[in-house]
Structure 1
Amino acid sequence: MRITKRWRVRRLSADGGTRDRADVLAGEEPLEIRVGGRSYAVTMRTPGHDVELVAGFLVSEGVLAAADDVLLMDDRAGVTATGERDRNVVDVRLAPGVAPPDASRHRHVYTTSSCGVCGTASIDAVRTVSRFDVASDDVAVPLRTLLGLPARLRAEQEVFGRTGGVHAAALLSIPAQGGPHDDDGALLCVREDVGRHNAVDKVVGWAVLGGRLPLRRTVLQVSGRASFELVQKAAMAGIPVLSAVSAPSALAVELGEELGVTVVGFNRGDALNVYSRVERVVP
């Protein structure tokens, strides 16, 4: 299991130049998620923060909402054909009284690093219901703070700096109006992964395992576009604001309007678009 891997490449240029050199690639390996010993899903991810990834994934699936919902997260559950420990398996044991995931939500095909809802067994299962009232969050985010987030995220992207091949997600806390605070907010957590959904799951997993849900008065900044799945993941974790450097989809904006999530797109540091719950962004 490696976050990055070195590989020999031949670089060719338009002027006829040729040069052999070493390149650094982002790691990508399968991870099997088990709940109570039963296989639930297999996703492709960049190794690292696997327990957080699984916890965040199960929050987005509606299985977990608090650290107390988990009795044990075993990243030593898998065994290879040669009898060695398989680092690509995490088994989750739910606490007594926590309902196991419905069979209709089990993923029947593996989830690629670019897919959020691939393999979901039914259309109804795509839309999960959050336990948190995101619409009631009265957070007010200064425009300057939002515009500064892409640069703050990029500065923390160590693996991207080495490979150019991973996405990232960051969680920012916004102080209450009138109280002591940092005008730019506190950067709580940054995670990277070849899958943008995985990067978000790792951030949410960090939060749920630390007993921080719901994530009221926070902003989730992502390095890619704002999809339906990312708006849903934000709502499931109680995050009121989702900001992306690229475009949102129509369904993402409609879901944000429905659930009360502020959806921000094309945040490039000098301007941005606010598509839903615009009153939360303070010029």
Structure 2
Amino acid sequence: MDSVTRPGPTTRTRIRQVTAGTARERRDDLATEEPLEIRIQAGETRRTVAITMRTPGHDFELAAGFLHGEGVIAPGDLSSIAYCTDDDVPPEARYNTVTVRLRGGRLPDLPGLDRHFMTSSACGVCGTASLDALHGRCSPLPAQEDLRVSPEVLYGLPHRLREGQGVFGKTGGLHAAGLFTAEGALLAIREDVGRHNAVDKLVGWAMMNGRLPLARHILMVSGRSSYEIMQKALAAGVPIVCAVSAPSSLAVDLAKEFGMTLVGFLREERFNIYSAPDRVLA
């Protein structure tokens, strides 16, 4: 595998730039988008559970976060994660295939994962489980009367998120998810062509570093908040989710159903609170 070129987060291309009617040739950086196949293995049994379009980088975190968000694995189930060297994987695809090895000798039940066999980086997983089904593996979050954040803390999150987007600064084409303390300190940030992938990478980082559940943290995402993002945040125990843009209707329904504080349109010292407003001192 050493002789195979590993894809990076950016790809160089040539463009013709037109400004005020004048054209010039120049180089440009694009956000890389390539497939990642996620396999799980227990004993000698393995199975492909998802193929997602992603920006290369933090692939192991992405795989771990995805499987945790779908209820497939808990932190104690993880044995190892590695790029796949199985005989059926051609050399040029090995950095796009990850095998997650589990403790124990048999694969877990995989209800509903067929819907993930091809996942778009742009829109998240096509089709969603019902809120009733989500109740089967996630519990509503506690009220946390001692967890209160100030508007000033929230006002600062978009700027801190943007400051940490190194690849976005080169390409202008990536989303980001940031994990913050209740005091507004940035703990980790991940970028990807898909917001849901960026959240998976963050959750995977927390899982692999023994930080789950994220009971006293804030998740901040660029763009909008969707059902998929809220589901992943709920599985990780995140009580407060903030977004630069609007939430979807199903995201709001999920937040209300499970006691999550959902903040939208967080920009320029204003925001809307769509559910569980008591966690925000306003």
Contact 1:245 1:267 in 2 (8 A): yes
Matched, 1:54 2:63: yes
2:122 to 107, 114, 120: 114
Q: For residue 178 of structure 1, what is the aligned residue in structure 2?
A: none
Residue 137 of structure 1: how far off its partner (Å): 3.3
Q: For residue 5 of structure 1, what is the aligned residue in structure 2?
A: 11
Residue 148 of structure 1: how far off its partner (Å): 0.5
For normalisation by structure 2, the TM-score amounts to 0.89
Q: For residue 235 of structure 1, what is the aligned residue in structure 2?
A: 234
CA distance in 2 between partners of 1:251 and 1:42 (Å): 24
Counting matched residue pairs gives: 271
For normalisation by structure 1, the TM-score amounts to 0.88
CA distance in 2 between partners of 1:69 and 1:8 (Å): 45
Deviations, residues 240-274 of structure 1 (Å, cap 9, x unaligned): 00000000111111110100110000001310000
Contact 1:134 1:238 in 2 (8 A): yes
2:178 is paired with a residue of what secondary structure?
strand
2:245 is paired with a residue of what secondary structure?
coil
Q: For residue 259 of structure 2, what is the aligned residue in structure 1?
A: 260
Q: Which amino acid aligns with 1:28?
A: E
Residue 211 of structure 1: how far off its partner (Å): 1.1
Q: For residue 141 of structure 2, what is the aligned residue in structure 1?
A: 134
Residue 231 of structure 1: how far off its partner (Å): 1.1
Q: For residue 4 of structure 2, what is the aligned residue in structure 1?
A: none
Q: For residue 204 of structure 2, what is the aligned residue in structure 1?
A: 205
1:72 to 75, 80, 91: 80
Contact 2:190 2:201 in 1 (8 A): yes
User: RMSD of aligned C-alpha atoms?
Assistant: 2.3
Residue 102 of structure 1: how far off its partner (Å): 1.8
Q: For residue 44 of structure 1, what is the aligned residue in structure 2?
A: 53
Residue 96 of structure 1: how far off its partner (Å): 2.3
Question: CA 1:144/1:228 → structure 2, altered by over 3 Å: closer, same or farther?
Answer: same
1:118 is paired with a residue of what secondary structure?
coil
CA distance in 2 between partners of 1:12 and 1:160 (Å): 22
